[in-house]
């Protein structure tokens, strides 16, 4: 018992995947520059980014399908990719679930799972396939062909095929996007549970933040050819490090403010009153009279009839318990979002009073 714990403990120390200063290019075009990430044993992570951000290319580099232009990738302490050499995919202990599942239509579920088991003896392959079909709850389907399965069942087969060789690292490329949107979040949570049960380390590539939030412990945001932020979902939302992340994650709008210094620290004068500015993460200082961009989440803007600031309603979306208003501020014409309780029902074109109540100001 103690030894097992010791080993587990030891393994959690060293990252299972270590990406250092990796740059990727497609032809002569740079796709991603200077990416560094460490993923620990048992960690479930997500690469999130808009389409064309190079997130799939990063996943393919980890799998060994594409070479790196510079930098190194280590899996389980072993060098698998650098600018000089690339270890073939089958020798780097990774499993991959592809976007369209890529199940072989001419093989049964069982044969598909056995396909990935390489040179194991036949009986062993059979046993292993049975074992993973049991885990994925697809045993009754073992002799069916992919064409006879539903999307969700196909995905379970694809996951079983990827994890049956017992890889150190499970890579999933937009693995939920082929599913019905209403199913996605639930399936993502189910899959997360299975991965945890198996004690696997997994990385999912996605463009859908809700999916990323439902699935991952940590999220890698890539955009504009570089790593934007690598942190938990909570920190991405509440402590975005870059302007891109602030804009990309969650809902919100930016208003402008003029920075000025008082005894207590730095403040900004905005059309919604004076807001206290935080210390910048970069350590960079503010300078007087410089304009800053301040992020206002819809829950930072409160409906308040007593407030002197009256905003005009431009759009409204009924969401049940609350209404999401898009408002235009007087004078500056800036736009903000506001979640107002459902009973504050106003028509488009009307005005109501608002005030800002921001616990931690995010500004750039």
Sites of contact with other proteins (CB under 8 A):
63, 65, 88-91, 94-96, 98-100, 102, 104-106, 115-119, 145, 147, 161, 178
What is d(CA 157, CA 241) in angstroms, rounded to the nearest whole number?
A: 38
Least gap, CB of 102 to other proteins (angstroms) = 4
In angstroms, the CA 245 to CA 222 distance is 9
Which helix (H) or strand (E) is 177 found in, with range?
none
CB nearer to other proteins: give 27 or 349: 27
Q: Rounded to whole angstroms, what are the CA distances from 25 to 34, 263, 323?
A: 11, 50, 45
CA-CA distance, 307 to 106, in Å (whole number)?
68
Least Å distance, CB 219 to other proteins, is 25
Nearest approach, Cβ of residue 50 and other proteins (Å): 19
Please say which residue, 119 or 317, places its beta carbon nearer to other proteins: 119
**Residue among 46, 86, 52 nearest 171 (CA):** 46
Choose between 71 and 116: whose C-beta lies nearer to other proteins: 116
- Residue closer to other proteins (CB basis): 70 or 90: 90
Among 100, 108, 173, smallest CA distance to 141 is for 108
Please, what is the minimum distance in Å from the beta carbon of residue 156 to other proteins? Answer: 16
**Can you name the residues that pair with 269 across neighbouring β-strands?**
258, 274
Q: Shortest Cβ distance from residue 115 to other proteins (Å)?
A: 6
Q: What's the number of CA atoms in the CB half-sphere (13 Å) around residue 253?
A: 20
Q: 101 or 244, CB closer to other proteins?
A: 101
Report, in Å, the least distance between residue 182 CB and other proteins: 19
Cα–Cα distance measured from residue 259 to residue 275, given in angstroms and rounded to the nearest whole number: 9
Nearest CB to other proteins, comparing residues 119 and 122: 119
């Amino acid at each position: 018992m103690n030894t097992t714990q010791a080993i587990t403990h030891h393994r959690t120390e060293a990252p299972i995947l270590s990406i250092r200063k990796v740059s990727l290019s497609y032809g002569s075009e740079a796709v991603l520059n200077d990416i560094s990430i460490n993923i620990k044993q048992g960690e479930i992570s997500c690469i999130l980014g808009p389409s064309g951000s190079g997130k799939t290319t990063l996943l393919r580099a980890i799998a060994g399908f594409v070479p790196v232009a510079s930098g190194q990738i280590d899996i389980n302490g072993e060098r698998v990719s650098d600018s000089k050499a690339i270890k073939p995919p089958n020798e780097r202990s990774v499993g991959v679930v592809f976007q369209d599942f890529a199940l072989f239509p001419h093989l049964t579920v069982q044969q598909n799972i056995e396909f990935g088991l390489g040179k194991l003896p036949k009986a062993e392959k059979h046993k292993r396939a049975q074992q993973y079909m049991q885990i994925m709850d697809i045993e009754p389907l073992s002799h069916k062909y992919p064409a006879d399965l539903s999307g969700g069942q196909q995905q379970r087969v694809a996951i079983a095929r990827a994890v049956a060789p017992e890889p150190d690292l499970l890579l999933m490329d937009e693995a939920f996007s082929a599913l019905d949107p209403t199913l996605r979040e639930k399936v993502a949570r189910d899959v997360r549970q299975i991965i945890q049960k198996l004690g696997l380390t997994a990385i999912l590539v996605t463009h859908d933040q809700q999916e990323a939030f439902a699935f991952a412990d940590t999220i890698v945001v890539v955009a504009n050819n570089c790593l934007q932020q690598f942190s938990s979902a909570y920190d991405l939302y509440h402590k975005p490090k870059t302007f891109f992340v602030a804009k990309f994650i969650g809902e919100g709008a930016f208003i402008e403010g003029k920075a000025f210094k008082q005894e207590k620290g730095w403040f900004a004068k905005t059309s919604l009153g004076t807001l206290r500015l935080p210390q910048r993460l970069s350590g960079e200082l503010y300078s007087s009279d410089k304009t800053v961009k301040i992020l206002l989440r819809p829950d930072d803007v409160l409906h308040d009839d007593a407030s002197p600031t009256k905003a005009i309603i431009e759009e409204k979306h009924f969401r049940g318990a609350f209404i999401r208003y898009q408002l235009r501020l007087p004078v500056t014409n800036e736009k903000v979002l506001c979640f107002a309780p459902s009973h504050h029902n106003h028509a488009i074109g009307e005005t109501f009073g608002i005030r800002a109540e921001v616990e931690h100001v995010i500004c750039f």
